[in-house]
Amino acid sequence: MNIDVPEAYVPQTPESLPGLLGGVAAIRGLLGGTPDMWAVEEVGDGNLNLVFKVRGPSGGIAVKQALPYVRLVGESWPLPLTRAHFEHLALVRQARHAPGLTPAVIHYDADMALIAMELLEPHIIMRHGMIDGVVYPLFAEALSTFAASTLFHTSDLAMAAADKKALVANFAGNTALCGITEDLIFTEPYMIAENNRWTSPQLDGLAASIRADSDLKIAVSRLKVKFMSSTEAMIHGDLHTGSIMVTQTDTRIIDPEFAFVGPMGFDTGAVIANLLLNYFSQIGHEKPPGARDSYRNWVLGSVEEFWNGFCSRFLALWRSEGKGDAYPAALFDDAISGIHLAREQERYMAGLFRDTLGFAAAKMIRRILGLAHNIDLENIADADVRAVAEARSLMMARSLMTGPGNFASIEDVTTAARQWNAIDPFGAKA
């Protein structure tokens, strides 16, 4: 892959960044003082980018800069800098539709592939808090609001057809990031691939069975086709607990560089997948056994609250703001037609639920057998304990992907999670 790098582009360091930012009036006003007075810390712990915290006498900002390669792997895996452009586009639109749920953008530098934004403090990455067993009572409500608002308002249910097509075109160039998803989530975990890794030898048999499972490979291929071809709404594209920053009273969604116009269920499925992975991981974070039972209940309760809240908010928006060219209001302005539309809305949401479960399963499998794993599971030091949590996750994921119709409600999903969590995957039922 040939990467187009602007002539002015320079990867920043804590030493060079103040000089670059000093030329931006909005940043000088926020930080106060002069650039030589600013403290810079590189804090990026993700797979792709540089992330800095910059503090001055009057305040602080966060700065994210794309690198021309995948940071997790290195320069052998080139990656376009244009992903910063798509992230900026997504942040601006998300802020419009879900105000207060994303970091405010302060400055965007296209040549440097750099976004300066609001510094979220004392927020932490939600994944870290969940590993520590911290309850976030408001997060499910906030996240369901974000998902419902951003997905509905960028869909044909809310947009004129011409505007929606323009939105699709705006994000159509984010092909490299989509390609990562297509390979790492929908393809490589189901074959022998150099990027794959898993807890070995404990999961060797399960990994081999997944590679040999034709039903599963057909199911994931159908999901891949939907991911590549469906243009339902502008999706975040990487909506997991590592892309959420929280306190007890505030929730913000970050890092939408994978954004494009795709299937809604990919976002909602990613949320549910990561909550379920955390649920199964609790066996490795509790001392003594059973100490995290109440936390497990909170996690599964959050799965239910997120999905049910998303559905109710999405449908409320459809009823009150459904002015797009899909299901035009003029066709359903009498009582009988309104009844039929309500039934169609139920059918629509049932289809979205099936998509959500399938995409959730794909996300769960890739985090255990693919390249980039979740620290919820990865941080379990005892490999045997980790393998039990991972095997339970894989078994549930398979049931979700190959039989989404077996789950009539989100409560059926959480009930199944409890049942899988009682199984000894390498022996008899516990």
Distance between CA atoms of residues 353 and 331, nearest Å: 26
* Residue 429 binned pLDDT confidence (cut-offs 50, 70, 90): very low
CA dihedral (51, 153, 274, 354) positive or negative = negative
For 38, 111, 125, 244, 396, the CA distances from 247, given in Å and listed in that order, are 26, 34, 9, 10, 30
Distance between CA atoms of residues 162 and 51, nearest Å: 36
pLDDT for the residue numbered 72:
73
pLDDT at 70 over 90: no
pLDDT at 236 over 90: yes
* Residue 76 binned pLDDT confidence (cut-offs 50, 70, 90): confident
* Residue 428 binned pLDDT confidence (cut-offs 50, 70, 90): very low
**Which positions ≥6 away from 96 have C-beta within 8 Å?**
153
For 58, 148, 158, 338, the CA distances from 335, given in Å and listed in that order, are 59, 26, 22, 5
By CB atoms closer than 10 A (0-12, 13-18, 19+), residue 105 is middle
Tens-digit pLDDT profile for residues 86-95: 999 999 999 9
Torsion angle in degrees (nearest 10) through CA of 376, 378, 381, 385? 80
pLDDT at 1 over 70: no
Q: Are 90 and 256 in contact (CB under 8 A)?
A: yes
- Identity of the amino acid at 385: V
pLDDT at 17 over 60: yes
pLDDT for the residue numbered 430:
36
Distance between CA atoms of residues 92 and 200, nearest Å: 43
What the block records as the tokens of 4 is 């187009």
pLDDT at 45 over 80: no
Residues β-bridged to residue 40: 54
pLDDT at 118 over 70: yes
Average pLDDT of span 92-99: 98
- Taking all residues of the chain, what is their mean pLDDT, rounded to a whole number? 96
What the block records as the tokens of 203 is 């999961």
* Residue 427 binned pLDDT confidence (cut-offs 50, 70, 90): confident
Tens-digit pLDDT profile for residues 126-151: 999 999 999 999 999 999 999 999 99
pLDDT for the residue numbered 74:
76
pLDDT for the residue numbered 73:
80
> What is the pTM for the complete model shown?
0.96
CA dihedral (150, 156, 158, 164) positive or negative = positive
Tens-digit pLDDT profile for residues 352-398: 999 999 999 999 999 999 999 999 999 999 999 999 999 999 999 99
φ and ψ at 370, to 5 degrees?
A: -95, -155
Distance between CA atoms of residues 217 and 221, nearest Å: 6
pLDDT for the residue numbered 46:
65
Average pLDDT of span 44-54: 86
